[in-house]
C-alpha cells in the first residue's frame, strides 16, 4: 500500500465543483472559492483539446486522487475564461490536510513568544529602516516542529490563518508532486511535473494575494504583495533596507536567503568601492610624480628613442614618445595604490565571507532552519529519481525497499557527463585561440597604415586610437559576443547532462548543476582576462629570434601595449564585466515585461472585476526551478571579476556596487510584478555557492599577487629605484628598462622592452643580471603577499565565530522550553508513530 493509500484512511474527501457563472455578476479578482471562505492555495490550468482523450482520463484520475488525499477542488469552466479555451482548477487544503502534512514535513510553528530581549540599536539606522510592520510582519516566537497530536502546545488562534499562504502552497505542492494519475498506481505515473511535461496540464502555480499596485478588497489581512511592491520593488527605495522577513513569509526561505545574501554582498561592496575609488584618485592626482611617463613624453628622451617594429613586415619603426598618452593612462591603475588595494581586497573578501556566515547563522535561527540540514537528507528524494530507477534494494536504516541506480549505470553516466563538459571547455579554449589569432592578424592590418619612415610616430586609427588600443577593444568586443553565444548553448547542455545523471536528491541535483555551470562560466568569462594578464607579452622572444604562434605560423606573438599590459587587462575587464552587467539587467527586466504585455494584451481591455486573479497570474511568466540558480550565477561571476583581477582595475567594486543597487530593485520588481508566485521552498544556506565563493577568494589572492608581480611594472620600478638608481629616484628608468638591438643602416640603436645584453657582448641577447634580480623580487613579492593574506584570512576566520553568541543562547533557550514541556507532559520526544517513514520522501522544493 502506497503512502497516499495510507493517508486515505484518515483524510476526508470532497467533490469537484464545476459551475458556470456570469462574470458580470461576480468580481473574479479574488483569492477565495466562490463561497468566499475557502482560500485558493493552488491553481492548475489546461486547454481541453479535441484529441486529448488520454489527457482527459489522466486529469479525471489525478483530480479524483487529489480529492481522496483530502484536497478540495473547484473548476472554472472555459466559457468564463478570457480566451474561452482554458479551464482553471482551484485547489484548497483544509485544516486536516495541512495539519497532517505539517506533521509529516516537520514544519516549525510558534509555541511561545520570544522572551530574550534584543539590544535596541534601531535608532542608528532610522533613515534606512522601513516601517516596523513591514520589517517584522510577525512577532518573534520560539518554534518547534508541528505535532498533530499536541495541538495545545502551539499558539493557534485561528486554524484558517495559522499556516501562512507560503506554507500552505508548499504542502499542496508536496501532495501534487506525489499524487498518481493512473489507476495502476505505477511509480512512473505520478506527479504534477510529469503531467506538465506531457501537456495534460498547462501550468500549476500558487496565487499572488492581490494586484501589485493595490491591495485586495476581499481579504481581511493586509496584502503582502502590495507592501512588497510599495516598500521594496521601488527603485527610489534603494537606500532602504530590504524587508527580508516579509520576503521570506511571502516567497519562502529559499528566495529570502538569496535576497539576504545579495543585500549583504552589496553592503560590503560599499567599503571596497570607497577604498578602490581612493586608490584610483591617488593615481589620478599623482601625475606630477610620474617620472617615467615624463621621460617617455619628453622630446629629449622619448623623442630620441627609436623602437623596434611590433609586427613583421607591415609594422614600421616608431618613437617611444608616441606612447605618451597610454603611459599616463596606465599610471592611473599601475601605481603604489595598486599593491595596497590588492592586499586590501584579500582581507576584504575574507571579512565578507566570515561576516556572511554569521548573518546566515542568524537567519537560520530566525527562519526556523537550524535543523533543516538533517531534514534535507531525509525529505528531498527527487520524484524523477524514483521513477527512473527501477531497481530496488533494502535501506539498512529504514528497513524498507528503496530505488537505487546501479554502479555500472552511475559510472557510464558520469563518464559521459565529464566528456561533455571537457568538450565544451575545449570549445571555449579554441574560441579564445581564435580571438588571439584575430588580435595578431588585425594588429598587423592596423599597423599597415603606418608610414615607412623609420622615425615616425605610431599613427592613429582614429583621432586618439592607436593600433594596439583598436585591436584590444575590438578583440574584447568579439570575445564578449562569443561568450554570450556559448552561454546560451551550454545552459541547455548542462541541464541535459545533469538530468541524465539522475541525481538522488534536489540538493544533489542543484550542486551538480552548479559545479558544471560555474566551471564552464569560469573558463568562458575569465579565460581572455587570464590570457592578457599572464600570457600576453611573456613569450615574445627578441629581435632576430621572435616566437610565433604555434611555432610554424606567420603570426608573431603579441607584445604588450607600450604603456604596459596592465592597461590592456583593464580594458578587457571593463568591456566584459560592464557588458555582462548591462546586458543582464536589460534581459532580466525587459524580456519578462514585453512577454507579459503581449500575453495579457486582450485581458487588459476588460474591467478589473472580469479579469480574475488566476487569469492575471496565468498571464505572468513562470519562475522555473532554476530561476534562482541564474541569479546566483550572475552575482558569483561578478564576484570573480572584482576579486580575481581587481589589482588591474580598482574601480571594479564601484561598478559592481552601482550595478547591484539596481540589481536588487530590478529583481524585486521582477519577482513582484512579472512572475507568478513561486512555490515556497526552504534552504538553510546559499548551498554550493558558498564553497565556490571560498575557492574564488583563495584563488584571488594568488591571481592578484601574480598581476602585481608580472603584469604590472611596479616591481621592476622598485628594483630599479632601490638597487640601480644612484639617488633612489626614478630618473633614467626608461633607458634602463629597454634593451638595444643594432640594425645596419641606422645611425642610432633600436630599442625593445626587455633586459638583455646588446649585440657584441659576450652574452649577446642573453638576459642581464637585472632581469634575474627583478624575477627574484617578483617571486619574493608573491610569496610574501600570499603568506600575509592567508595569515590574515585564517586569523580573521579564527577570531570571528560563525554563529553569534546571542543566536546560540536563543537556540538553547528554545530547546530547553521544548524539553520542559515534554517533561511536564510526561511525554517522549516526537517520533510520529502513526506516520510511515516511507511517506517522508522528498519536499520537491
What gap in Å lies between CA 637 and CA 634, rounded to an integer?
Answer: 5
Instruction: Give CA 675 to chain center in angstroms.
Output: 19
| 524 contacts 487 by C-beta, under 8 angstroms | yes
Is the pLDDT reported for residue 748 higher than 70? no
pLDDT attached to residue 118? 62
Over range 613-635, report the average pLDDT: 87
pTM of the model: 0.84
Is the pLDDT reported for residue 543 higher than 50? yes
| 709 contacts 775 by C-beta, under 8 angstroms | no
Is the pLDDT reported for residue 83 higher than 80? no
pLDDT attached to residue 825? 58
pLDDT in tens, 701-739: 999 999 999 888 889 989 999 999 888 888 888 888 888
Is the pLDDT reported for residue 205 higher than 90? yes
In sequence order, what DSSP letters do the residues of 429-475 get, joined into one string? HHHHHHHHHHHHHHHHHHHTTS-S-TTPPPPPSSSS--HHHHHHHHH
pLDDT attached to residue 220? 60
For the ranges 248-252, 369-373, 574-578, which has the lowest average pLDDT?
369-373
Is the pLDDT reported for residue 111 higher than 60? yes
What gap in Å lies between CA 63 and CA 383, rounded to an integer?
Answer: 19
Confidence of residue 609 (pLDDT cuts 50, 70, 90): low
Label residue 394 left, alpha or beta by phi (over 0 means left) and psi (-120 to 50 means alpha): beta
What gap in Å lies between CA 282 and CA 331, rounded to an integer?
Answer: 10
pLDDT attached to residue 185? 58
What gap in Å lies between CA 453 and CA 437, rounded to an integer?
Answer: 28
pLDDT attached to residue 158? 81
What gap in Å lies between CA 719 and CA 736, rounded to an integer?
Answer: 11
For the ranges 319-323, 365-369, 376-380, 753-757, which has the lowest average pLDDT?
376-380
pLDDT attached to residue 783? 93
From 171, 143, 144, 176, select the one nearest 39 (Cα to Cα). 171
CA dihedral (69, 70, 71, 72) positive or negative:
positive
Confidence of residue 372 (pLDDT cuts 50, 70, 90): low
Confidence of residue 126 (pLDDT cuts 50, 70, 90): low
pLDDT attached to residue 373? 59
| 245 contacts 136 by C-beta, under 8 angstroms | yes
Of 433 and 401, the structure prediction assigns the larger pLDDT to 433
From 71, 95, 89, 320, select the one nearest 195 (Cα to Cα). 89
From 445, 545, 523, select the one nearest 754 (Cα to Cα). 545
Scanning 41-114, the segments in alpha helix (DSSP H) are: 53-68, 95-105
pLDDT attached to residue 73? 94
Is the pLDDT reported for residue 120 higher than 70? no
pLDDT attached to residue 277? 94
Over range 395-416, report the average pLDDT: 79
| 648 contacts 335 by C-beta, under 8 angstroms | no
Is the pLDDT reported for residue 549 higher than 80? no
Query: What's the angle, vertex CA 557, arms to CA 709 and CA 468, rounded to 5?
Result: 80
pLDDT attached to residue 450? 47
Is the pLDDT reported for residue 14 higher than 60? no
What gap in Å lies between CA 734 and CA 728, rounded to an integer?
Answer: 15
Percent of the chain at pLDDT > 90 equals 21
pLDDT attached to residue 6? 42
Query: In angstroms, what CA-CA distances link 363 with 49, 130, 289, 751, 804?
Result: 48, 19, 50, 62, 11
Over range 136-164, report the average pLDDT: 82
pLDDT attached to residue 1? 40
Confidence of residue 410 (pLDDT cuts 50, 70, 90): confident
| 516 contacts 425 by C-beta, under 8 angstroms | no
Contacts 24+ apart (CB under 8 A), 290-294: 290/328, 290/331, 291/729, 291/730, 291/731, 291/733, 292/327, 292/717, 292/730, 292/733, 292/734, 293/324, 293/327, 293/328, 293/331
Is the pLDDT reported for residue 141 higher than 60? yes
Over range 89-110, report the average pLDDT: 89
Question: Given the DSSP bridges, would you call strands 738-741 and 545-546 parallel, antiparallel or unpaired?
Answer: unpaired
- Number of H helices and number of E strands within the chain? 27, 15
pLDDT attached to residue 221? 65
pLDDT attached to residue 398? 62
pLDDT attached to residue 173? 92
pLDDT attached to residue 695? 92
Of 273 and 293, the structure prediction assigns the larger pLDDT to 273
- For 512-525, b/e burial (b = at least 16 CB within 10 A) is bbbbbbbebbbbbb
pLDDT in tens, 469-490: 777 788 888 888 888 888 888 8
Local structure of residue 675 (DSSP, 8 states): B
Question: What does pLDDT average to over the chain?
Answer: 80
Question: Given the DSSP bridges, would you call strands 72-76 and 86-92 parallel, antiparallel or unpaired?
Answer: antiparallel
DSSP SS3 for 621: strand
Residue tagged 483539446 (cell numbers): 49
| 88 contacts 76 by C-beta, under 8 angstroms | yes
Amino acid at each position: 500500500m502506497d503512502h497516499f493509500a495510507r493517508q486515505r484512511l484518515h483524510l476526508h474527501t470532497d467533490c469537484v465543483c464545476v459551475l458556470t457563472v456570469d462574470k458580470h455578476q461576480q468580481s473574479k479578482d479574488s483569492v477565495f472559492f466562490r463561497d468566499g471562505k475557502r482560500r485558493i492555495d493552488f491553481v492548475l490550468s489546461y486547454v481541453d483539446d479535441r484529441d486529448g482523450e488520454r489527457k482527459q482520463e489522466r486529469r479525471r484520475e489525478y483530480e479524483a486522487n487529489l480529492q481522496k488525499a483530502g484536497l478540495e477542488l473547484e473548476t472554472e469552466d472555459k466559457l468564463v475564461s478570457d480566451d474561452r479555451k482554458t479551464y482553471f482548477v482551484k485547489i484548497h487544503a483544509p485544516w486536516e490536510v495541512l495539519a497532517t502534512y505539517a506533521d509529516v514535513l516537520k514544519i516549525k510553528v510558534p509555541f511561545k513568544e520570544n522572551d530574550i530581549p534584543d539590544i535596541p540599536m534601531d535608532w542608528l539606522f532610522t533613515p534606512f529602516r522601513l516601517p516596523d510592520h513591514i520589517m517584522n510582519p510577525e512577532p518573534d516566537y520560539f518554534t518547534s516542529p508541528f505535532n498533530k497530536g499536541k495541538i495545545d502546545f502551539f499558539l493557534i488562534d485561528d486554524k484558517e490563518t495559522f499556516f501562512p499562504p507560503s506554507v500552505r502552497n508548499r504542502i499542496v505542492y508536496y501532495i501534487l508532486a506525489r499524487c498518481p494519475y493512473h489507476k495502476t498506481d505505477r511509480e512512473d505515473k505520478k506527479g504534477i511535473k510529469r503531467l506538465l511535461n506531457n501537456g495534460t496540464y498547462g501550468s500549476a502555480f500558487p496565487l499572488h494575494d492581490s494586484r501589485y499596485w493595490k491591495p485586495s478588497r476581499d481579504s481581511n489581512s493586509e496584502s503582502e504583495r502590495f507592501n512588497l511592491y510599495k516598500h521594496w520593488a521601488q527603485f527610489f527605495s534603494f537606500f532602504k533596507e530590504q524587508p527580508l522577513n516579509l520576503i521570506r513569509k511571502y516567497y519562502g526561505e529559499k528566495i529570502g536567503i538569496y535576497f539576504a545574501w545579495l543585500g549583504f554582498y552589496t553592503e560590503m561592496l560599499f567599503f571596497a568601492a570607497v577604498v578602490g575609488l581612493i586608490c584610483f584618485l591617488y593615481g589620478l592626482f599623482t601625475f606630477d610624480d610620474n617620472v617615467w611617463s615624463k621621460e617617455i613624453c619628453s622630446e629629449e628622451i622619448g623623442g630620441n628613442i627609436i623602437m623596434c617594429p611590433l609586427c613583421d613586415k607591415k609594422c614600421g619603426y616608431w618613437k617611444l614618445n608616441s606612447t605618451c598618452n597610454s603611459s599616463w593612462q596606465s599610471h592611473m591603475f599601475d601605481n603604489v595604490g595598486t599593491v595596497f588595494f590588492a592586499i586590501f581586497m584579500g582581507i576584504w573578501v575574507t571579512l565578507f565571507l566570515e561576516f556572511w556566515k554569521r548573518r546566515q547563522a542568524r537567519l537560520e535561527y530566525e527562519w526556523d532552519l537550524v535543523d533543516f540540514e538533517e531534514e534535507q537528507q531525509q525529505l528531498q528524494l527527487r520524484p524523477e529519481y524514483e521513477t527512473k530507477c527501477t531497481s530496488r534494494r533494502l535501506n539498512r536504516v529504514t528497513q524498507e525497499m528503496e530505488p537505487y541506480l546501479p554502479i555500472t549505470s552511475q559510472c557510464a553516466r558520469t563518464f559521459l557527463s565529464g566528456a561533455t563538459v571537457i568538450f565544451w571547455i575545449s570549445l571555449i579554449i579554441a574560441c579564445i585561440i581564435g580571438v588571439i589569432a584575430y588580435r595578431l592578424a588585425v594588429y598587423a592590418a592596423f599597423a599597415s597604415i603606418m608610414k615607412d619612415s623609420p622615425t615616425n610616430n605610431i599613427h592613429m586609427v582614429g583621432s586618439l586610437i592607436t593600433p594596439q588600443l583598436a585591436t584590444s577593444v575590438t578583440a574584447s568586443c568579439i570575445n564578449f559576443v562569443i561568450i554570450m553565444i556559448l552561454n546560451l548553448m551550454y545552459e541547455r547542455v548542462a541541464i541535459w547532462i545533469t538530468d541524465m545523471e539522475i541525481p538522488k536528491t534536489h540538493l544533489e541535483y542543484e550542486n551538480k548543476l552548479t559545479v558544471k555551470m560555474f566551471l564552464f562560466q569560469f573558463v568562458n568569462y575569465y579565460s581572455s582576462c587570464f590570457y592578457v594578464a599572464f600570457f600576453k607579452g611573456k613569450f615574445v622572444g627578441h629581435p632576430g629570434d621572435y616566437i610565433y604562434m604555434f611555432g610554424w605560423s606567420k603570426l608573431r606573438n603579441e607584445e604588450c601595449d607600450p604603456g604596459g599590459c596592465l592597461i590592456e587587462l583593464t580594458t578587457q575587464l571593463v568591456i566584459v564585466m560592464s557588458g555582462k552587467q548591462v546586458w543582464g539587467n536589460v534581459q532580466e527586466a525587459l524580456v519578462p515585461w514585453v512577454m507579459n504585455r503581449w500575453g495579457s494584451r486582450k485581458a487588459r481591455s476588460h474591467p478589473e472585476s472580469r479579469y480574475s486573479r488566476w487569469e492575471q497570474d496565468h498571464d505572468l511568466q513562470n519562475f522555473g526551478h532554476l530561476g534562482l540558480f541564474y541569479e546566483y550565477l550572475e552575482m558569483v561571476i561578478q564576484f570573480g571579476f572584482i576579486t580575481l583581477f581587481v589589482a588591474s582595475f580598482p574601480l571594479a567594486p564601484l561598478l559592481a556596487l552601482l550595478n547591484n543597487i539596481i540589481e536588487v530593485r530590478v529583481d524585486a520588481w521582477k519577482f513582484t510584478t512579472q512572475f507568478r508566485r513561486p512555490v515556497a521552498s526552504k534552504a538553510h544556506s546559499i548551498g554550493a555557492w558558498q564553497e565556490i565563493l571560498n575557492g574564488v577568494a583563495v584563488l584571488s589572492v594568488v591571481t592578484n599577487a601574480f598581476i602585481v608581480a608580472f603584469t604590472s611594472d611596479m616591481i621592476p620600478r622598485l628594483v630599479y629605484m632601490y638597487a640601480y638608481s644612484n639617488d633612489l629616484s626614478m630618473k633614467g628608468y626608461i633607458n634602463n628598462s629597454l634593451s638595444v638591438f643594432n640594425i645596419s643602416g641606422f645611425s642610432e640603436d633600436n630599442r625593445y622592452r626587455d633586459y638583455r645584453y646588446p649585440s657584441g657582448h659576450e652574452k649577446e641577447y642573453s638576459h642581464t643580471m637585472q632581469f634575474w634580480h627583478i624575477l627574484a623580487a617578483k617571486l619574493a613579492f608573491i610569496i610574501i603577499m600570499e603568506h600575509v593574506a592567508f595569515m590574515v584570512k585564517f586569523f580573521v576566520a579564527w577570531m570571528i565565530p560563525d554563529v553569534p553568541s546571542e543566536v546560540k543562547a536563543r537556540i538553547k533557550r528554545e530547546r530547553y522550553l521544548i524539553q520542559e514541556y515534554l517533561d511536564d507532559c510526561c511525554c517522549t520526544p516526537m517520533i510520529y508513530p502513526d506516520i510511515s517513514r516511507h511517506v517522508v520522501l522528498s519536499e520537491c522544493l
